[in-house]
Every structure is written in C-alpha cells, then in structure tokens.
Structure 1
C-alpha cells in the first residue's frame, strides 16, 4: 500500500480515500481485537474462568489511564489535520510536541495514583471474592506499562492524522501479535499464570512504543520537532484538552459502565454473570472492528477538508462513511444473532457460563446495524474541532441513556433489564445524533457550499 501524504486527503476521490484510510485502520483494530479475544481464550483455557473475570475487573482502570494517551492523541490530531489542511505546519509541529509532553505527564501521574490505591480500586471495580487476588496481580503489572501504552495510543492517532494509515496499522499489529506470542511463552511454556498474562500485554506495548519512536525519527514522518516544541503552549493545550476531553470522557464512561455493570451483575448472578459480561465485552471490541475502522479512517479526511474549507468533500465523506459502516454493521449483526453459542464456547467450557451468555449476547448486539451513524456523527464534530456537541453526543449512548436504564429496567425485568439497556440506549443515542448531524449539514456545510 502506497504512502498517503497529508495533501492527498484533500484531492483523492472520497470513496477511494476512505477505503485507503479505513482498511488499514480496520485491519489494525481487527488484529488488536483478535489479540484481546485470543488472549481471553488463552487465559480462560490455561488459567481458568475466574481469570477472565479478573482481567475484566482490571480493564476499566487500565482503559481509563491508557485513554489519556488516546485523548491527547485524538484531540491533537484534530488540530494537526486541520492545520495541515490550512497549510499551517508550524502549528502542527507545536501541537505534536505538546502532545508528547502532556502524554507522559498525565500517564505517569495516574499510574502512580493507581498503584497507590490498588487495594481500594480493585474491589470497587467488582474484584471481590475469588476474583480479588488474580485481579491484583494483573493490575499491578499492567500499570507499570501505562506510560508506554499512553504514548502508543497518542502516536498512533498522530500517524493517521499525517495521512499514513499503513504505519498506524503496523503500530496496532505489533502489540497484538507480540502479546499472543508472549502469552504462549509466559503462560503456557513458563507457567507464570496471571503474572505471565500481564507481562505479555505490557511487553507487547513496549515493542510497539519502539516502533512508533522509530517512525517519528525516520523520514516517514512529516512532523520533525525540536526541543522548543515540547514547551507547553496555553492555547494549544486548551484546544487539545477540549477536544481530547471528548475521548477521555468516552473512555471514562466506559470504565464507569464496566464498574457499574460488573457490580450489578455480581449481585444478580455472581461470578458467572460477570464472566458472561466479560465475554460479551470482548465480542463488542472484536465484532465492531470494521465500523470502528471506518470511523477512524473518516476522522482525518473530515478534519483535513474542513480545515481546507472543502465542505462538499466533508459532506461526501460523512454520507459515504455512514453507508459503508451501516452495511458492515448489518453483516456483524447477522453473525452474532446466529452463532452466539459457538462464540461463547471459544472462551470457556464452564457450562454455567455457556448457558447464560448467548441470550445476553443477542440482547447486547440487537441494535448494532444503526450504531454506525451514532459513532460517525459524534466523530464528525470532534474531527472539525467542535468539542461541545462532540462531547454531548459521545455521552448520550452510555452516560445519558445506558446507565439510567440499567438501574431502572432491572426493577421490572431483573438481570435481563441490564442486557435490554444495551439496544435501547443504542437506538435513543442514534436518534439524537441523527438530529444534530442533519442540522449541522443543513446549516453549516450546505450553506458554506452555496
């Protein structure tokens, strides 16, 4: 695949460009999701079902801290894409330098905080009973690698903003493949148990960090920064913060949702229900990879053309992305509705878990075909630098609709009410997003084209 320069984002045909951007992103997400999927299978088969629940307990904490890097990466990348579109390279360079500084400041601080309060945080996130000890082992080792993971998440988004989806894909493939290799060595060969699973994940991200560092030091990157770019600039930091906060808020809500659902399900069905949710959560990461890939490919195209004031191209990429992602979401929906039992047995042979998971999976994915519009609509506002609507639309799906529903519906339907909350919140958030996106196209993009 040929290298795509930033200028190509404003000149190549939208359909061709979206495929060129989305395919590497989708492949990267697919392999990363397969990594998470297979990693969970390895842990379940080689360590036990309780280990799956233990990892699921730790995910909210590690996701939130790692999300700092992603938030800084997405927020800064929106600025970089628009700056490159407007031919303002000095601003792009300064933004990248500030991203690096912010990433290491925040991730190191939060890793220290997370390690200090380890015994408080793990039970709060559902790590109770037999789950506590393996969760603590996994948690502590994962947090050692959080600063490296933060840089990987940040750097990957910047690579994509430059118009180099192939290298962004490599940055996602390396830790995924590495983790599976390390899993086999540390868990199966060396019999290190939960410690092996944790070191496999941490070690794989160190390898990815080294690759991304090489990329930015090599001729492949347009962003050649010097020491002056690392000094924080108030205006740039504020813009990174406002846009990045959208991503951080989304990841924070994911973490809070894991916490609340883990605890609610534990109260209804104990460790079996928590394990079922862990399996469904892994499938959410895996099954939606093509939709997430199109969303990631969409963002730099929309941002660059918005910065270049080519609003007709912005409209075209919005509608093309929604069309492609909806079609792929429908295919995923069919597969999950037909084969949930087979999928569940990939993870565990525990018959209690196998019995309850398939029906729960069907409920959780019932509205998948329409989720594409919600994801791309929220991503549009972030790509073009409109932080407030991006934040509100990002929060609708889980914070505004899902969390209240998961407390209300169980009053009438018991544990089933928690699973019913997934599709209902998806439908409601998609309707809200469609309203705001339609208004944006009508008032801003159509008016600007005219």
Structure 2
C-alpha cells in the first residue's frame, strides 16, 4: 500500500512525458521568475542611474553568482542524494541528509555576511570598480552579502521540496518572490529615491518571501521531508560522509552558477580595457539577458533531475535516458526560438536598457547579442548533460563538463580571442567554449553507453 507521502512523488506507473512536462514546466517558470528580478534591477537602475549604474551593478554580479552557486551546490547536491536514497527506500537517511545540508548552508552563509560588512569596498575594487564606481558597487555588494543566508537557504529549500514531490510550490516560491522584488525595485528606487541600495534591498527581500512560502510544504499531509539532525545514532563520520556525497553531486551546479560570475568578471576586465565603462555597461545588458536564457536551460535540467535521480535509485536506466532525451529535444527547440528572438530584436532589446541613448553602448551591445548568444545551441545541452551525470551518481563527468565551461576553457579563450579579434573575440569566446564542451560531453555519453556503464 502506498503511503500518503509517496503519492506525490514521481512514479513509474505514470506516463513519463506527462511527469516530465509537469516538473519541467513548473521549474522553468520559477527560474524565469528568478532571472526576471535581475532584469528588473538592470532596467530600473539604467533608468535611474544610466550607464554608471549599469556598470556598477554588473561589477557586483560575480559575488551574487558565488552566493547562488553555493546555495545551488548545497541544494542540488543534497536533494539529488536525498532522492536517490529515497528511491532505495532509505527514508531516515534521506531526511538526515536534508538536515545536514540546511545546517551546513546556514553556517557557510555567515562568511558572506562577514565579507560584505568588512570588505565590500575591497571586493568591488578587485572586481574592477574605479573611483567613479566604487561607492555604488560596494553598496550593492554589502547588501547582497548581508542577505546571503536567505539566498542560499531559499535555493536549498526549493530543491528539496521539488524532490519531495512538490514542484508547483517550488515554482510559486520563486515566482512570488521575484514579482515582489520587481515591485519593490520600483518603490525603493523611484518614490523612495534609494538608488542602487534600493535595488539591492529589493533583491534581498525576494528569497525571504520565497522561504516563507516553502514552509507551506510542511503543512501538507503528503510531505515526507523532516528535519532530523539531533539523532545521536547518526555519527559524525556518517554526517561528514553524507555532506561530502552531497557536495560532490552538487559541485557541477556550483560551477555552472559560478561560471556566470567568472565569465562576468573576466569579460568586465576585458571590456574595461577595450571600451571603458561604456563597454562594461554594454556587457551588462548582455549578461542580464544571459541570466534569463541560462535560467530557462537550468530550469529544464533541474526540473528533470528528480525524475532521473528517482529512476536511477530504482534501477530503471531506460527511464533515466528517456527523460534525458526529452530534455535534450526540449532544449533544441527552445534554442532555435531564443536565438531567433535575440538576433532579430537585438536593437530593441538594447534600447530597453540604454536609457541615455548612448550610441556607443548601443552598437557594442547589438553586435555582442548576435555573437555571444550563438552559444545557446550548445550551452543548454551541456547543462542537461552535467545534471544527467549528477543524477546517475557520476560526479566526475559532471565535474569535467562544468569546470571546462566555467573556468578551464572560457577564461583562456576570452583572453586569446580578445587579443586576436578585440571586442568581437570577447563575444565569440563563449560560443567557442560551449561548442567544444558540447563535443566532449557527447563523446563521454556515447562511450559510457557503448561500455554499458549506464
């Protein structure tokens, strides 16, 4: 007899495409909501502060990626291990994994608070802020860091309730928080006149609202997720083993999120050299559009993860591969649509954020949009492949894919192509990197299938 808690879990007697559509749709909607509040910051800051505000905001974004990266590493890694152990009917251990991850995430977030309170100006300077941008970027960084516990715990809670069979509530938490952020962005920046501080404050409030909504999950009779850290029979060694396993599975998600921050940091430095603060502002437009695009791909990959992890725990690799194929075909269709919109509407997209009508910013950003986003034909599949390997408890291939995308290829490619081709080389380094990683990911996948590994 099936328990009430299991009734909302993905099950093998339901149609796989129906389950896939449900989980992916909810998660993509939620991820788009999250990315839209970054766009809202960019839009309102551009209206209030112009190119200087855009440049300051973009210089502060890498620390936001670091915060979200650790939150996603804890959340995706812990939730994946939780779902695998649930599929293997180890419910008590699964709940301890949740408890350990929540506690570790909170402790880790305290480091960001210390960094923001005492070193925000130094961090902003290290990220490339000059005297004209230092105060603006430092203020944004300080507020973001002080809200780090909420950003990180919100990511963890959403990942776990999604793996506990509640993707719709996870989506609601992301969307409602994001809509509140957009509203507060306007209120804080314009009627209250708080500038970049108001934008950061509005962004920080969003995960607080999200966490409050995720708590609804524990009022539902179907939930199976429990906080059980205090059990004495779970030794320190077992705690460290579970945490290590969660971190290993979550590391690709950390790298994928951090990769955006690394790319922003490197590209900012290159754009400062090639076109000054105007170049950084132009890249700020592209970076924020990229948040939405990557959010869609991440939403597809993270949405299908609970289904693949549970099927893997139950030993049904045919279902794992079927869900992977659904994700890859979805990503292919979305990529064609996205690039078409970006290519044909690049002028209008740039004008939305170019409130001062800066001709140089407009020209740089329009060209950048068309070249940079050639990567969409490869990036989404790379993300889904990393999640596939994570979901099947193979951390190493996922680590390789994520590290190549986020650091080992993109950084040298950006410097090399910028030296050879100038600004166009900066834009092209991203699609070049993603295409090379795409080839490697499919080679790894095909070899593993040929050897009947999975």
Q: Would the TM-score normalized by the shorter structure come out above 0.5?
A: yes
RMSD: 1.9
Whether contact under 8 Å (1:127, 1:135) holds in the other structure is yes
Whether contact under 8 Å (1:242, 1:387) holds in the other structure is yes
Does the alignment pair 1:241 with 2:247?
Answer: yes
Cα deviation, 1:96-129, whole Å, max 9, x if unaligned, reads 0001111101111232134322222111112223
1:252 CA displacement: 3.2
Q: 1:203 pairs with 194, 202, 205, which one?
A: 205
Whether contact under 8 Å (1:294, 1:321) holds in the other structure is yes
**Residue of structure 1 equivalent to 2:113:** 111
Does the alignment pair 1:311 with 2:317?
Answer: yes
**Residue of structure 1 equivalent to 2:266:** 260
Q: Distance in 2 between matches of 1:367 and 1:200?
A: 31
Q: Distance in 1 between matches of 2:153 and 2:218?
A: 12
Whether contact under 8 Å (1:327, 1:369) holds in the other structure is no
**Residue of structure 2 equivalent to 1:292:** 298
Whether contact under 8 Å (1:370, 1:430) holds in the other structure is yes
1:250 CA displacement: 3.1
**Residue of structure 2 equivalent to 1:96:** 98
Q: 2:223 pairs with 221, 224, 227, which one?
A: 221
Q: 1:163 pairs with 155, 162, 165, which one?
A: 165
Distance 1:260 1:44, change over 3 A: same
Whether contact under 8 Å (1:4, 1:164) holds in the other structure is no
Q: Distance in 2 between matches of 1:6 and 1:215?
A: 12
Q: TM-score, normalised by structure 1?
A: 0.94
Does the alignment pair 1:338 with 2:344?
Answer: yes
Does the alignment pair 1:393 with 2:401?
Answer: yes
**Residue of structure 2 equivalent to 1:185:** 187
Does the alignment pair 1:172 with 2:180?
Answer: no
Q: Distance in 1 between matches of 2:302 and 2:293?
A: 16
1:227 CA displacement: 4.4
1:225 CA displacement: 2.4
Distance 1:399 1:288, change over 3 A: closer
Q: Distance in 2 between matches of 1:83 and 1:296?
A: 18
Q: Distance in 1 between matches of 2:193 and 2:15?
A: 52
Question: Where in structure 2 are the equivalents of 1:7-46 lying within 5 Å?
Answer: 7-46=9-48
Q: Distance in 1 between matches of 2:365 and 2:11?
A: 43
**Residue of structure 2 equivalent to 1:153:** 155
Q: TM-score, normalised by structure 2?
A: 0.93
1:294 CA displacement: 1.5
Whether contact under 8 Å (1:27, 1:169) holds in the other structure is yes
Q: Distance in 2 between matches of 1:343 and 1:173?
A: 23
Instruction: State which drifts further: 260-269 or 41-50.
Output: 41-50
SS at match of 2:28: helix
Unaligned runs of 5+ in 2: none
Whether contact under 8 Å (2:382, 2:441) holds in the other structure is yes
1:8 CA displacement: 2.5
Q: Distance in 2 between matches of 1:379 and 1:397?
A: 14
Distance 1:394 1:242, change over 3 A: same
Does the alignment pair 1:408 with 2:416?
Answer: yes
Unaligned runs of 5+ in 1: none
Q: Distance in 1 between matches of 2:6 and 2:301?
A: 18
**Residue of structure 1 equivalent to 2:278:** 272
1:253 CA displacement: 3.4
Q: 2:448 pairs with 437, 440, 446, which one?
A: 440
SS at match of 2:128: coil
Question: Where in structure 2 are the equivalents of 1:113-132 lying within 5 Å?
Answer: 113-132=115-134
Q: 1:370 pairs with 365, 378, 396, which one?
A: 378
Whether contact under 8 Å (1:71, 1:247) holds in the other structure is yes
SS at match of 2:374: coil
1:66 CA displacement: 3.0
